[in-house]
Structure 1
């Protein structure tokens, strides 16, 4: 497959040719409990074999809500989400790095290009101090 140049957009085939795996999406609890529609979603690199990488939100989530992902985001089979909202069926074929939104005034989805997908938080302790490094690894 030929790579596009910076001024050439990707073809549909290039946008969806990524290896597919997993079957779960993380969705906002508000989607299921409050029966609100999905209005914003993005695909990140999957975190495990069952993960598709899709993260789906209603648009009503607060910062506090988003910070407590373990409580407020629920794994749901992607197939079930597409049954609830068939407009997602074609969109969920897209590769990691894809972002979509649907405003309340709009019936359709629009591609978003200026949203920075959050990276997982990883605690890493980096040191150039040999003694400190050895102490840390003696405890491991």
Structure 2
């Protein structure tokens, strides 16, 4: 596959050539409980083998809602999401780093280039102090 130069956009083949694995998306609880349509989605690097990396939202989620991902984001099979909204099928082939939006006024999906995909918040305590390291290991 030919690598594009900065002034050449990627072809659809290049943007969908990533190895596929996983079968779950994380979707906002509002999609199922309130029966609201998906209006915003992005693909991050999958967090585990079952994860596709796709995160889907209605656009009505508040900051507080988004902060509590364990309660407010639900794993849903990719196949089920495509049954609920067939317009997603082709878009879900795209690689990590892809962002899509569908405004209420528009008929279809538009690619978003200026959204910064959030990185997972992982706390790591690193030390070079052997005694402190030993204490941490014993405490866990």
Alignment of 1:115 onto 2:127: no
Per-residue Cα deviation, 1:24-70 (whole angstroms, up to 9, x for no partner) = 10000000010100000000111111111100000000011001111
Count residues in correspondence: 140
When the two structures are superposed, what TM-score results if normalisation uses the length of structure 1? Answer: 0.94
Distance in 1, Cα, partners of 2:23 & 2:138: 40
When the two structures are superposed, what TM-score results if normalisation uses the length of structure 2? Answer: 0.94
Per-residue Cα deviation, 1:52-91 (whole angstroms, up to 9, x for no partner) = 1100000000011001111111111111111111111100
- The 4+ residue runs of structure 1 with deviation greater than 6 A are none
What does residue 96 of structure 1 align with? Answer: 96
Q: For structure 1, list consecutive stretches of 5 or more residues without a partner in the other structure.
A: none
CA RMSD of aligned residues (A): 1.3
Q: For structure 2, list consecutive stretches of 5 or more residues without a partner in the other structure.
A: none
Distance in 2, Cα, partners of 1:94 & 1:29: 23
Distance in 2, Cα, partners of 1:128 & 1:6: 41
The equivalences for 1:18-57 within 5 A come to 18-57=18-57
Range 119-128 or range 68-77, more displaced: 119-128
What does residue 13 of structure 1 align with? Answer: 13
What does residue 105 of structure 1 align with? Answer: 105
